[in-house]
Chains A and B, each alone.
Chain A
Amino acid sequence: MQYEPVMTRAELIDFALNKYFARVDAKDMEGALSCFHDTALFCVQTAFTRHSGKAEIRRMFEDFFGAYETIIHRDFTCTVDEANGRITASFVAELHDAAGQVTLLTNTNFWRLRPGPDGAKFQEVYVYMSGANVLV
């Protein structure tokens, strides 16, 4: 195992979809960031981009939230490795900008959760995008 697994299958899915993506879609910065350890890595593998630590992840979300008026993540298919504290999801990211342009991406995220004093959180996040990187 990479990190000691502490969450059940249902808890991993709830964390990824309801605690994380629902807060991203609501542009709830503090709520979204609370899902990450301070030392978390956020990597967009299809663009060789890495955001290291919560400050860099915050800056990434500030730009992302500013670039799109409406952010929707939907149509999830989750794959859960409960024994190893890992979850993967494929989903559609639907992004509406101020000019009315809609960007649709079919992405896959891999999350690795590490236990900590405040509970298990994301230590590593890997994003694979079907198009241009929107998490710069």
Chain B
Amino acid sequence: MQTWTEGGAGQAPLPYPVYIDIVTKRYFDGVDNKHMDQVLDCFTPDAVLTEVTSNTVHHGREAIRAMFVRLFTDFENIWHGNFVHTADPESNAICSQFTVLITPNGGDELRYENCNRFYLKDRLFHRVYVYMSGDNLLKEGDA
């Protein structure tokens, strides 16, 4: 059995729409509506999420949960949209560009132009890389 690598060989391709749907209809829909279980169900148990622009790394689903608890608590409104995807069944990966409109509690709305790279293992996110056009919003939570 081949060792899993990001976008590496030996992976079973999924139908093209599966990649778009897990990113938009499952993951970001869950984030925008603060549905924690829907969000976490997109990740493998040992997934790693890295915010590249601040080099913040969240190891495992529980660390990712703690990160989202903090995000959901600190921001009253979150919206992701204007997506353009590079979806690649052959490498079991999808890279997405999008706009984020996000409002801190009692504050003014912020606009980000971000991208994520998602590398799947089977049908779930195993490695995720986030680039942000402003200060990191995905800070470590209290695990």
Q: Is A79 an interface residue (CB 8 A)?
A: yes
Q: Is A102 an interface residue (CB 8 A)?
A: no
List chain A residues, Cβ under 8 A from B16.
Answer: 83
Q: How large is the interface on B (under 10, 10 to 19, 20 to 34, 35 or more residues)?
A: 20 to 34
List chain A residues, Cβ under 8 A from B7.
Answer: 77-79
A90 to B131, CA, bound (A): 11
Q: Is B47 an interface residue (CB 8 A)?
A: no
List chain B residues, Cβ under 8 A from A106.
Answer: 52
Establish whether residues B131 and A46, one from each chain, have CB atoms under 8 Å apart when the complex forms: yes
Q: Is B31 an interface residue (CB 8 A)?
A: no
List chain A residues, Cβ under 8 A from B53.
Answer: 46, 128-131
Classify the interface of chain B: helix, strand, loop or mixed.
strand
Total A residues in contact with B, Cβ cutoff 8 Å: 26
- CB nearest neighbor in B for A46: B133
Classify the interface of chain A: helix, strand, loop or mixed.
strand
List chain B residues, Cβ under 8 A from A129.
Answer: 53, 131
A114 to B93, CA, bound (A): 23
Given A45-B133, A130-B53: A108 touches B86 (CB 8 Å cut-off): no
Establish whether residues A80 and B113, one from each chain, have CB atoms under 8 Å apart when the complex forms: no
List chain A residues, Cβ under 8 A from B133.
Answer: 45-48
A23 to B17, CA, bound (A): 35
List chain A residues, Cβ under 8 A from B87.
Answer: 81
Establish whether residues A110 and B131, one from each chain, have CB atoms under 8 Å apart when the complex forms: no
Within 113-136 of A, Cβ neighbours of B (below 8 Å) are at: 126, 128-131
Establish whether residues B91 and A126, one from each chain, have CB atoms under 8 Å apart when the complex forms: no
Establish whether residues A79 and B131, one from each chain, have CB atoms under 8 Å apart when the complex forms: no
Interface residues as binary, A6-32 with B (CB distance below 8 Å gives 1, 0 otherwise): 000100000000000000000000000
Given A77-B7, A108-B95, A110-B95: A128 touches B115 (CB 8 Å cut-off): yes
4 further A-B contacts with Cβ under 8 Å, apart from A45-B114, A77-B6, are A2-B84, A48-B133, A108-B117, A128-B131
26 contacts between A and B (CB under 8 A): A2-B84, A45-B115, A45-B131, A46-B53, A47-B133, A48-B133, A77-B7, A79-B117, A80-B86, A80-B88, A80-B91, A81-B86, A86-B84, A87-B86, A88-B86, A90-B129, A106-B52, A108-B95, A108-B129, A108-B131, A112-B84, A126-B115, A128-B114, A128-B115, A128-B131, A130-B55
